[in-house]
Amino acid sequence: MEVSKKTLTYTSLVLIHILLGIVIFLNTKISVIYSIAILSLSFLILLKTQNKKNEVLFVAAYAVGSEIVLRMAGGFLFYEIAKYSIVFFMLMGIYFSGFSKNSFLYWVFLLSLIPGVLVASVTLNLNANIIKSLSFNLSGPLCLGICSMYCYQRRITLKDLDHLMLTMLLPLLTAVTYMYLYNPSIKNVITSTESNFETSGGFGPNQVSTMIGLAIFLMFTRVIFYSKERWVIVLNITLLMILTFRGLVTFSRGGMICSAIMVALLILVLFFVTKRKAKIKIIWSIVFSLIALTAIWMYSSEQTNGLIDKRYANQDKGGRVKESILTGREVIMEGEFEMFLQNPIMGIGIGKAKEYRLDTFGEVIASHNEITRMMAEHGAFGVLALLILIMTPLTLYINNRQHIYLLSFFTFWILTINHAAMRLAAPAFVYALSLVQVYIVEKAKDNPVIEELE
């Protein structure tokens, strides 16, 4: 069988990032070098190319994909560096390539955050670290706003968008490799139906599940669109099954449910925009995916002694149905909604909701829901900001039907901020990708799905 140079390059990239995961696990100090290398090379690439081919998107995509493994291994110079470095690189991209004058809505979005900062300067306790509080709560919205300004109606080919998604996927394979080595035996650590740090590379299961769910979607697109050679088919399907298994055994449901909805939306969109020949391939992909998912679920159930079944049935170890389906997050959401009702105009100020929970419950509990947090801390300005974020990509979709990933990207953002807030850079960047204007330069003759896009 003849193996193309393109196939060899893809396989090499995958193997390099798997090897990188092994190296980082053997010596976590390597992760610091990896982090510095990403930042340095990204800066040099943008300086050299002056962003002539949207290089900033690829730089940011790689930073997004690498964030979780660097957090696992402790490779970041400071915790929020991924978001702020992406903001810096996006500003470089704007400097070199400008931005659409129609993106003024995201100027409004960014300006709507200022009243919350002003209120916080008055309402936060005197002993609070105001700078740290603002940095933690503003890094996500700031990253989203700047990325959105750059991406708004920026023209990009479907081929480049797919390359961009691969760039984001590769470091996620590094993360999964690290997770496997961190805990190769699932049976030894699964003792309850709670989210599990051991199976999540020693880091927060919620964030890990979120990124593995994104990786599952990205790999699924490669299985459908870019699996021609037999070796690549086997490689991609194997990786997809591994990702799904490791995502399930984090016992954090948010990222996995999100990925399933993203995949379902992509399939639905493809049925509407493709012709009969491509629909047949999609149907076979669905059938195989369901068979593979059943096999993975059965294996996961066996490895966890049936606890994964109880987790997704919202039961405890003894099989009793839990009172809370959202593991207590609805209490936080209700509290934040009450704060909004009491302060509907200006809100209570950025970071103040966490202080309220400290006074009420005696412990620091960060919000997991960005929507209720924005409403509580920003008041009416937060509602305005959310309306801009929700309505803009959906409106753009009317005249951007070739952006086959738009609804899936939007869904990733809105579902993720409902269970994991904006702890990661991924929701901000993926949301911004839903704003790009996609077009097809030429038909991919070796890809019946892309070839038959109407």
Residue ranges making up the domain that contains 68: 15-451
Q: What is the spatial distance between Cα 354 and Cα 332, in angstroms, rounded to a whole number? A: 10
User: How is residue 225 written in tokens?
Assistant: 């669109």
Phi, psi of 442 (to 5 degrees): -145, 155
Pairwise pLDDT comparison (358 vs 337), residue with the higher score? 337
Q: How crowded is the C-beta side of 328, counted as CA atoms within 13 Å?
A: 5
On whether the CB atoms of residues 165 and 65 are closer than 8 A, the answer is: no
Q: According to the model, what pLDDT value does residue 298 have? A: 95
452 is written with which tokens?
A: 């038959």
Q: What's the pLDDT score for residue 157?
A: 94
Give the separation between CA 294 and CA 274, rounded to whole angstroms. Answer: 27
Q: Which residue has the higher pLDDT, 414 or 350?
A: 414
Q: Return the higher-pLDDT residue of 423 and 69.
A: 69
**Is residue 131 very low, low, confident or very high in pLDDT (cuts 50, 70, 90)?**
confident
Quote the pLDDT of residue 5: 60
pLDDT interval class at 228 (50, 70, 90) = confident
Full DSSP string of 271-306: HHHB-HHHHHHHHHHHHHHHHHHHHHHHHHHHHTTT
In a domain, 208, yes or no: yes
- Which of 116-125, 430-439, 440-449: highest mean pLDDT? 430-439
pLDDT of 27-46, one tens digit each? 999 999 999 999 999 999 99
- CA-CA distance, 192 to 311, in Å (whole number)? 9
List, for residues 2-17, the tens digit of each pLDDT value. Answer: 456 666 699 999 999 9
Whether the model pTM is above 0.85 = yes
Q: Which residue has the higher pLDDT, 197 or 89?
A: 89
The total number of structural domains in the chain stands at: 1
Whether residue 8 is contained in a domain is answered as: no
| pLDDT, tens digit (0-9, with 9 covering 90-100), for 95-105 | 999 999 889 99
- Residue-wise pLDDT tens digits, 141-152: 999 999 999 999
Computed over every residue of the chain, the mean pLDDT equals 88
Q: Is residue 337 domain-resident?
A: yes
Residue 10 counted as domain residue: no
In the predicted model, what is the mean pLDDT of residues 18-35?
96
Q: Which of 85-94, 218-227, 346-355, 414-423 has the lowest mean pLDDT?
A: 346-355
Range of 336-340, 421-425, 430-434 with top mean pLDDT? 430-434
5 inside domain: no
Coil, strand, or helix at residue 167? helix
Higher pLDDT, 168 or 276: 168
Mean pLDDT of 170-175: 98
Residue 47 pLDDT more than 80?
yes
Average of per-residue pLDDT across 318-336: 76
Q: How do residues 181-227 score in pLDDT, each as one tens digit?
A: 998 888 888 888 888 889 999 888 999 999 999 999 999 999 988 87
For the chain, the residue count is: 454
